[in-house]
Chains A and B, each alone.
Chain A
Amino acid sequence: MQVTYSLSSKMHPLLRYGLAIALVSIALWLSLALQVPFGNPFWFFFSIAVIASTWFGGRGPGWVAVVLSTLVVLYFFIPPYFAWEVKLRDVPFFLTFVLCQVVVTWLISWRKATEDSLRQAHSELEARVAERTIELRNANEALVDQMAEQKRTEEVLQLTRSELARVVRITTIGELTASIAHEVNQPLAAVVANADACVAWLSRDNPNLVEAKAAAERATQGATRASEVIVRIRSLINKATPEKTRVQINEVIEQTAALAEGQASRNEVSLQLELAPDLPPVLADSIQLQQVILNLLMNGIEATLSVSDRPRLLVIRSQMQGAGQIQVSVKDSGVGVKAEVMGRLFEPFFTTRSKGMGMGLPISRSIIEAHGGRLWAESNGSDGSIFQFTLPSENGPGA
């Protein structure tokens, strides 16, 4: 089909018309050649010539073949032979021949036209499909690009967020400097006292080795304690990409409370831990959890500062909260949170403190939410407020 199609449409017109003339000539020659031995006129070859011309050459050559074969038949095969005349009795015969030729040509060319348009429609459809395929591929590539871009943006956002968290952490630690200095200085003072004692025991006229050894051992313990404090603070300050491990929440609470202890006692606030035993571990970044708890403790201490008619108390509680959720709450005996402030607590840059940055709570909330938990505040009327968060335990449904 493809071949004939290309023949009729791509062949040069001269060739197509030539083909018609050639076919009619061959038909004439064959008819004449066969008429000599057999006597009957073999007009059928003209039909074949017309059909072939129309088929291969198209409508124009078809008609040319019709006209030519009509003329040739008229001249050679209708008596009187070799003359442009028709006897009356041969007219119906001759006209039938012509009519047949015309009808055949018409039918074939109609058929061809239909076929051609069908073929054209088909190829147009194919072209359109190819076109759409390319469009789709382009759209798909653009989408892939966009997704990669979005992923990159998300990565940058994540990075920015953890960097911001670190900055807030460092700011918080900045507020703790005096407390931390005390925390480090205390064991160092123990080291110096014990080392001096050790030297003193050794430099007596009658050196007491037992006492000297005990003092030296205490000096070592003090130095170890000092370095532990440093390690703890450095891990809070260091740029660390969040890394989730199995974490015992009570250990995190205890470590963080130790950091805030100095700040609390300086302000005459007592920290009270009520930790439920045997809590399952959580899958979390312990530094980020420390940050959240430290932030809540610092806020709690701050909240109790204006209290003078009752003990300044900060209770940190951990407990199981059904359905694999661990809940940690920090309750202060402060002045409480005013209703109009309550709604804005978690807005970035909202702060009630003169030195506050207003990022502590929003960052804390985003950290807890990134761990699949929830952080919220409740006012305890004039008896202070409670900040609490939940975390899915490692074997809980939310983990």
Chain B
Amino acid sequence: MKDTDPVVFVIDDDRMIRDGLQSLIRSVGLKVETFASAQDFLTAKRPDVPACLVLDVRMPGLSGLDLQLKLSEVGIEIPIIFITGHGDIPMSVRAMKEGAHEFLTKPVRGQDLLDAIQKAIARDRALREERQALNEIRARFESLTPREKEVLDLVVAGLLNKQIADQLGMSELTVKTHRAHVMDKTQADSLAHLVRMAEKLKISPQK
């Protein structure tokens, strides 16, 4: 298995269930890490790979829902598949609002769980890729000089070179040079591409 192979985290206080789920998930060739409590999971070192969390709602100490809140507080985004003893509607609504990926009732049918895991991992992979792409764009935009950033803002706002030159009190030629640097550093193919990238950064501001 490669370092980027996805991993499934299973948290359940019941050893027999933990072992069963682990075996089930391993049987389809996925990597599994199990934890007996939410605290154990929080303190453990987690690999930086696509992952999902299979979580028992009801556990002594930190419950599944508590862990979900805690993770979102510290900004850890990971799809969570909740397993609950009995379909408690208010509880599931709360969990889904907080962004739970799936809510399954115990005892869970193996195939249902595996399907949910596959979907969750696919989603996490997509999210990770998106995050990575965004980070790359951000890195490129951050390599711009302050002057270039000023020019960029006005270009994206739709101003012509002449208008930019007037506004920034520089020659049109200088504007053109900055603009060329911007296009170059951000690896934008076209003005439209540059605008799209700039929009993405605005929508998801740096965390």
Contacts and interface: CB of A to CB of B under 8 A. Distances in A.
B60 A193 contact: no
A190 B17 contact: yes
Given A265-B60, A270-B60, A199 B110 contact: yes
Interface stretch (B24-32, B40-48, B92-100, B131-139): B24-32
A182 interface: yes
A192 B107 contact: yes
A317 interface: no
Interface size for chain B: under 10, 10 to 19, 20 to 34, or 35 or more residues?
20 to 34
Interface in A210-246: 211, 214-215, 218-219, 221-222, 225
Contacts of A186: 14, 17, 85, 106
A204 B20 CA distance: 17
Nearest to A265: B60
A266 B20 CA distance: 24
B109 interface: yes
A188 B58 CA distance: 16
Nearest to B83: A189
Interface in B14-38: 14, 16-17, 19-21, 23-24, 26-28
A190 B20 contact: yes
Given A211-B26, A218-B19, A193 B108 contact: yes
Given A194-B20, A270-B60, A188 B107 contact: yes
B85 A193 contact: no
A193 B17 contact: yes
Interface of A: 178, 181-182, 185-201, 204, 208, 211, 214-215, 218-219, 221-222, 225, 265-266, 270
A349 B28 CA distance: 58
29 contacts: A181-B85, A185-B86, A185-B107, A186-B106, A188-B107, A189-B14, A189-B20, A189-B83, A190-B14, A191-B20, A191-B107, A192-B109, A192-B110, A193-B17, A193-B24, A193-B107, A194-B24, A198-B23, A208-B27, A215-B23, A215-B24, A218-B16, A218-B19, A218-B20, A218-B23, A222-B16, A222-B20, A265-B59, A266-B58
A299 B189 CA distance: 73
Nearest to A208: B27
Given A185-B107, A200-B27, A204-B27, A194 B14 contact: no
A194 B86 CA distance: 20
Nearest to A186: B14
B190 interface: no
A189 B26 contact: no
A217 B207 CA distance: 48
Contacts of A195: 110
Nearest to A222: B16
Interface string B135-179: 000000000000000000000000000000000000000000000
Contact of A196 (B24, B83, B85): B24
Given A194-B19, A201-B27, A225-B16, A181 B86 contact: yes
User: Which 8 pairs between the two chains have the least Cβ-Cβ distance?
Assistant: A196-B110, A193-B20, A200-B27, A197-B24, A190-B16, A197-B23, A192-B107, A194-B20
Nearest to A270: B60
A200 B115 CA distance: 13
Contacts of A194: 16, 19-20, 23-24
Contacts of B60: 265, 270
A191 to B, nearest CB: 7
Which of A193, A198, A221, A222 is most buried by chain B, counting CB atoms within 10 A of its CB?
A193
Given A197-B24, A211-B27, A270-B60, 12 more contacts: A181-B85, A189-B17, A190-B17, A190-B19, A192-B108, A193-B110, A196-B110, A199-B110, A200-B114, A204-B27, A215-B20, A218-B20
